[in-house]
Structure 1
């Protein structure tokens, strides 16, 4: 446990996970400082909340008596990390600080290669609307509480936990939710799906004897994890999903546009019907995970269902950027083959009359190198596909690795257009879109700017038509 009133310094405070922890610490009265390479909305928000933030890294930012927090994104050669090591200042990994926050609370950790941000948000909403006033830490911006963290006064702490670097083994929650395990994700760190499964299995064994594992049964690895946990005599496990044998089983009744309705059974008992205002089969799975947690904690079904009915999606998770002249522009964070495929399948199913135009921005050299060819059939549900230049994030370029890997894989199955420059993508879209079209910008980088540019172009054109009409 970090002593009350301790001074905590975050190296890379603008990151999603780091800033969420910093927000909760500020609310709890800790003196928080941090540094980041660039100013952002997140750093401005933290500064307004009371954090002392420097742009750029420098040794003098580290002071005696502080606790310094780092993440995998911060190299050991960072000058602030080096100063902390030389000065004997305590250095903690982000997950260790999260584990410290969990102490003394009923902690609920959500892990999984996809679905965890939305599932975490849904669980938070179910508990908050039930009057439990949870503390929440999420890897995305949530409209419900205007950021990625909420400092509550109840006994529950709900946290999205990063599994990408194995640091989930640094936390020991009371309840663990496993949304999914994708064989194409995080292989740059783990090397194989077998190693991913082994790590998730070890994570579940960290649950206390009276703890609870809530596992998605629709995931291919879900049954393996549950069987392993039950075989070890560890914590109790329940499953959720669209598979009929799930402990909390859903059956989709309707999917049309932003309306999705499904019924929920617990064993043979029909609990009722839930209506969501977010589309897609995967959001039904996310909601079932939230329902399972809520019901296991004693939240009445009616309360949980009402909470989910008014749930608004996390930013960059099928976020509507706007609609002009009957052209709907939506943005989504999907960035690996499984997520892209699920996103487009859901869009095609929920908007069957629309022409779906997918604009994809590949993310990271390492991911493109590892799973690029697996994008071949990911875009099959779309009517048209445009691929843009690769978004490197913080990675150096790798010779021979570029967006062409994905373009060639997709082109082997269907037509695809490669347009590197964002402005040219906007121009091309503006020429071809019309009423009833749905343009979906996809990727973990800044591809959303293309959607905004298209909307601006369409508005300008509409204004010009009216002016000359």
Structure 2
């Protein structure tokens, strides 16, 4: 099988530029990039092998041509620039043809940096957990204060109905992903995001398919932190010992600490949760300065809000304006999103898959509904969650649940079975710890169990980073028929 032979000298955007082609255009970030480039006046085309809603409809509405399948002839028009998605491998026929033709090319993160971050104050939200929610809080709050930023975020922000935006203001909010950039540029995406200031929420081991251990992840974050200029700022959750270490050893900019401890410059106290809303008292440099209302439950969400307060205060906005903006946050799709309530059963969709994210999400939902049964459906789907690396850690992540339903994972072709996650083993381990847990071969079996089990008052939370065979709507339909 042929492999792409790309000339590194062509890894640039040419000065004369009209037509841009995106390989892998139907990915969430790539589709957003296509729309942003079209908004800037470029002729945009693309290709993908997985063309389906909602991204196919989104691109069609914009009038962007999408070619079905990856083929060398898709580059017959010889675009001025090709943007190569992270999903593309060096054996991709368009990547091979790209090398043969000697066209200019960029990765999506490189394109974001080149076209949209220059001459902007790039506000990058980084960390193992909370990036999408925190960057959405930041972008929405700026918008509410009348300073609508440009942004590129890994989830659909309800305030905008999209995950990317081009703006004339000085700020651009970026979700700073530590995953690698492209097959020809094996560095973390956030290394291309030219940070003026950053929020760093947490640093843990993740992405076992590209990082060998925690030290490798720390090295990437250390490089990123060092890119923040002296005139910028790093807002760091220093109660995370790895974050504290990285900030102390690598920042050349001011470090603004936040957390729950009075040793932090910004800390919160008196957390109160009522349903899906929280409130907390905000302290700055040892003094209480006010209260924040946040339409989200859980300590982790409140800490995300506190980080936004700290950063925006640093940028010169008033506390009163910031908390007013935060209080109007509508949420992010797939982050504690209520998909429906039928027959008294509430169905919630959430992206959590890392053990820490699972634990914090479930703890927050338990605070929101302390007297209801919490039924958790978990699909191990990411590269890391399908490996044995988190097998034992998951056993402590579901303690807030009343029942846990685990789907068997789809095996990883390139990883020995002995090194892969075991859904039956997790179910058995949870049972040993006193949590009712079951393993299922497929989604249909899970739905059958829920049909027989659910009763009014139950909270069903579905944890997956994928579509999960449309389980959310299928469950709501089943519940509707039971209540006809």
Q: Same fold (TM over 0.5)?
A: yes
The question of 1:129 aligning with 2:180 is answered: no
State the secondary structure of the residue aligned to 2:455: coil
- Shift of residue 450 of structure 1? 2.4
Which string of whole-angstrom CA distances, capped at 9 and with x for unpartnered residues, describes residues 260-316 of structure 1? 001111112322111111111111111112112211112221111111112122111
The aligned counterpart of 1:46 is: 59
The 2-side partners of 1:241 and 1:286 are apart by: 10
1:20 to 16, 32, 35: 32
When the two structures are superposed, what TM-score results if normalisation uses the length of structure 2?
A: 0.89
Instruction: Report the more deviating stretch, 345-354 or 5-14.
Output: 5-14
Cα 1:452–1:302 shift into 2, 3 Å: same
Which string of whole-angstrom CA distances, capped at 9 and with x for unpartnered residues, describes residues 19-66 of structure 1? 222222222212221111122312321232232211211112224242
- Shift of residue 367 of structure 1? 3.0
1:410 to 414, 417, 430: 430
The question of 1:157 aligning with 2:178 is answered: no
Alignment size in residue pairs? 458
The 2-side partners of 1:7 and 1:212 are apart by: 37
1:148 to 151, 163, 183: 163
Write out aligned runs for 1:90-129 (5 A): 90-100=104-114, 101-129=116-144
Instruction: Report the more deviating stretch, 416-425 or 448-457.
Output: 448-457
The aligned counterpart of 2:367 is: 349
Cα 1:409–1:56 shift into 2, 3 Å: farther
The aligned counterpart of 1:36 is: 48
The aligned counterpart of 2:72 is: 59
The 1-side partners of 2:395 and 2:229 are apart by: 43
The 2-side partners of 1:271 and 1:57 are apart by: 56
Gaps of 5+ in 1: 464-469
- Shift of residue 405 of structure 1? 4.4
Write out aligned runs for 1:364-379 (5 A): 364=382, 366-369=384-387, 370-379=389-398
The aligned counterpart of 1:329 is: 347
Which string of whole-angstrom CA distances, capped at 9 and with x for unpartnered residues, describes residues 355-375 of structure 1? 111111111455321223321
Cα 1:80–1:252 shift into 2, 3 Å: farther
8 A Cα contact 1:229 1:237, kept in partner: no
- Shift of residue 5 of structure 1? 5.3
2:258 to 230, 234, 240: 240
State the secondary structure of the residue aligned to 1:8: strand
When the two structures are superposed, what TM-score results if normalisation uses the length of structure 1?
A: 0.92
The 1-side partners of 2:378 and 2:240 are apart by: 25
> Pairwise CA RMSD of aligned residues?
2.1
Which string of whole-angstrom CA distances, capped at 9 and with x for unpartnered residues, describes residues 402-453 of structure 1? 5334334434423311122212211211211112211111111223832322
- Shift of residue 245 of structure 1? 2.0
The question of 1:317 aligning with 2:339 is answered: no
State the secondary structure of the residue aligned to 2:323: helix
The 1-side partners of 2:102 and 2:161 are apart by: 37
Write out aligned runs for 1:413-424 (5 A): 413-414=433-434, 415-424=436-445
Gaps of 5+ in 2: 1-11, 181-187
